[in-house]
Amino acid sequence: MYDEFSKERQHAVYSGSFDPVTLGHIDIIRRAAELFPRITVAVGHHPNKKGLFSIQERIAFLMDAVAPFQGVDVMATDALMVDFCRSIQATVIIRGLRSEADFAYEMQMAAINRELAPDIETVFLLANRDTMFVSSSVVRELASYGHSVDAYVSHMVADALRRLFQS
C-alpha cells in the first residue's frame, strides 16, 4: 500500500506567503523533503496585497534556506493551489499545523481542495514544538518594535528585517 502511494505521490507542493519565511516553515520543508522526492515551495503572490517583502525577496530568502535540501525548488504563483498543482503535475499539498485554529482552517481548505481536485491529496505535518508559536506575523511585529528575531528566522531574513525597520 505504501509503495503504491509513494509511486503515485512523487511531487508535493508547500505553499504560503512566506512574508517572511520562518524557521518553522523551513522545518516543514525539510521534513517534507524527507517524505517526497520533489517539493515545490509555492510563494503566493496576490497583486492586490502589499507584502512586507517583494515576491522576489521572498523567493531569494527561500532559495537560500532550501539550498541544502535535495529536490526542492521555489516558484511564485497567483493561481488557485489545485490549479497550480495540476500545472506542475504535483499530486500532494503539504500543510503545516501549529494549533487547533490552524487545523480547523486547513481542514476546511483540504475539503474544498478535495472537492475541486480529488486526485490531489493534502498531507498535514505538525509543527515542531520549538517553532509552533512562530508565525510570520509575530516575526514582523517583533521586528517592527526593534526586537531581535534571530531565533525565529534565518540570518538573511533577520538582517533584512533589521534594515527595513531601522530606516
Active site residues: 25, 49, 98, 136
Across-strand partners of 11? 38
Residue type, 2: Y
Q: What is the DSSP string of 30-87?
A: HHHHHH-SEEEEEEE--TTS--SS-HHHHHHHHHHHHTTSTTEEEEEE-S-HHHHHHH
Supply 161's cell numbers.
528585517
Contact criterion met (CB below 8 Å) for 120 and 91: yes
Q: Which residue has the cell 475539503?
A: 111
